[in-house]
Chain A
Amino acid sequence: MEEHAPHTTDALIQLEVNRVVEDSTTDTRIVVLTRADGTSDLFMVWVGASEGESIRRALDTSTTPRPMSHDLIKSFGEHLGVRMERAVLTDVKSSTYYATVFLENKGVVRTVDSRPSDAFALALRCQAPIYVTQDVWKRRTGQNLDAWLSKLETKNIGAQEV
């Protein structure tokens, strides 16, 4: 695949996966990311339940009894000598985010289009940084949703206790 994403990370904003929140009403997961520069704004991406679990497990660095699909991709990289350089959230259309994964082998960088969930799950396992373009950051969903998110998290805690 030809490179079409930014080559440099100068104009990008680095993000860190903060936590994965369960949205019990839709059986999806919300990946909450924060800016690496410490600014308090959040970046949220809705992902499927199994992808969310894979991200959560990478975040917890808890080892699963059996490797998950993203552990297998990491294992491919280790066998083939492919290093994950970074993940970049490159676009958003109709509230759907698009990501590009940068992979390096013998000095050659190749890019692979991906869903953000796969990019996050793999980046966390490979200790690769996650970035978002300035444009996508400005068009992010979930702005001013901090109050709603904390309510959702409180609700989930309650639900687990019952």
Chain B
Amino acid sequence: MITQMQVKGLMFDPYNNAYIVILRDEDQSEMLPIWVGKSEASSISLAIENVAPPRPMTHDFMKTYLDAFNAKVISVVITDLTEHTYFAKIHLTYADSEYTVDSRPSDAIALALRTQAPIFASESVIRKQSSEELDQWLENLKPEDFGKLDS
């Protein structure tokens, strides 16, 4: 079972000095936070806001590369979560054949947003993340972080 997800936004995570891409399902009942690096976040952000940077970014080049051969991104799927690391697959069609390529979720999402391809998450990922990611989040909280909320 896979669930279609929408990119709802990006957040900065000061504890990990990283960015979080927030994916939500259509019913808004499931949320999938995916930690990504700074340059991947900025690439995703430009795609969300539909801003064309003065120079194409790596994911724009990736799209042009596929376009040059008329290869199409059908969908991307967040397939697995192991020890805080997400895995994704990109499904492509090219010359009447289908291909599946392993990818980081950040690349998959950045490419999906540029090619209007749907983003899916497997059921197991959604089930696992609710416990795993919360643990990671809590582990990184320090006592002084709680104080900040009062002041």
B-binding residues in A (CB < 8 A): 1, 48-51, 54, 66-67, 69-70, 72-73, 75-76, 79-80, 82, 96, 101, 103, 105, 110-115, 118, 121
Contacts and interface: CB of A to CB of B under 8 A. Distances in A.
Contacts of B104: 66-67, 72
A69 B107 CA distance: 6
B69 A110 contact: yes
Given A70-B58, A96-B55, A112-B64, 8 more contacts: A51-B58, A69-B107, A72-B101, A72-B107, A111-B68, A115-B56, A115-B61, A118-B58
A144 B94 CA distance: 48
Contacts of A121: 58
Nearest to A121: B58
Contacts of A50: 37-39
B37 A73 contact: no
Interface string B96-125: 000101111001000000000000000000
What size tier do the contact residues of chain B reach? 20 to 34
Interface in B14-57: 37-40, 55-56
A121 B58 CA distance: 10
Interface in B53-83: 55-56, 58-59, 61-62, 64-66, 68-69, 71
A103 B65 contact: yes
Contact of A82 (B39, B69, B101): B69
Contacts of B56: 113-115
Contacts of B102: 67, 75
Nearest to A70: B58
A103 B68 contact: yes
Given A1-B68, A48-B39, A115-B56, A73 B62 contact: yes
Nearest to B64: A112
B101 to A, nearest CB: 5
Contacts of B59: 69
B85 interface: yes
Contacts of B99: 79-80
A131 to B, nearest CB: 18
Contacts of A79: 92, 99, 101
B69 A73 contact: no
